[in-house]
Amino acid sequence: MLPKRKHSRAFRGGTAVLAAAVLPLLLANPLALAQNASFPPDQVKRGAALYRTNCESCHGVKMVGPEWAIDLQKFPKDQQARFIDSVTNGVRNMPPWGDVLKSDDIEALWAYVVTGDKRE
């Protein structure tokens, strides 16, 4: 049997102090969270397929579309709620997709938008 560490409690306390120091910084900068978000490759791939089927005709190939459509390459990565609301309920000339796409489909689209298009 291994001996108990003498400083295990101090380490746990140190971890709590570190978390308390870092968490406010991340919350103050949601863009950092979005940019560092890692999405499962399958989710991004599914989002790309959904994009090609449902979004590409207006937002363009590889998210490069006409001037009248929102440029999804420049969509603020810290505004996931805005993205979900816009896709679900529509905005300006964009129709609502909430009856067509399930919430996990919209999450996959978000993963694709945040990750960017890596297709050749």
pTM for the complete prediction?
A: 0.66
CB 21 within 8 A of CB 76: no
| Percent of the chain whose pLDDT exceeds 70 | 66
Residue 3 has what pLDDT? 52
Question: Could you give phi then psi for residue 111, rounded to 5 degrees?
Answer: -60, -40
Distance CA 38, CA 68 (A): 30
Where along the chain do its domains lie?
Answer: 1-36, 39-115
The average pLDDT across 36-63 equals: 90
pLDDT band at 38 (very low <50, low <70, confident <90, very high): confident
pLDDT above 50 (res 82): yes
Does the structure show a pLDDT above 90 at 2? no
Q: 55-70 burial string, b = 16+ CB within 10 Å, else e?
A: beeebeeebebeeebb
- Calculate the CA 42 to chain-centre distance: 14
At 58, is the pLDDT very low, low, confident or very high (cuts 50, 70, 90)? very high
Give tens-digit pLDDT for 87-114: 999 998 899 999 999 999 999 999 999 9
What mean pLDDT do residues 20-32 have?
43
- Predicted local confidence at residue 118, as pLDDT: 60
* Burial class (CB within 10 angstroms; exposed 0-12, middle 13-18, buried 19+) of 110: buried
Asked: is 39-115 a CATH 1.10.760.10 domain? The reply is: yes
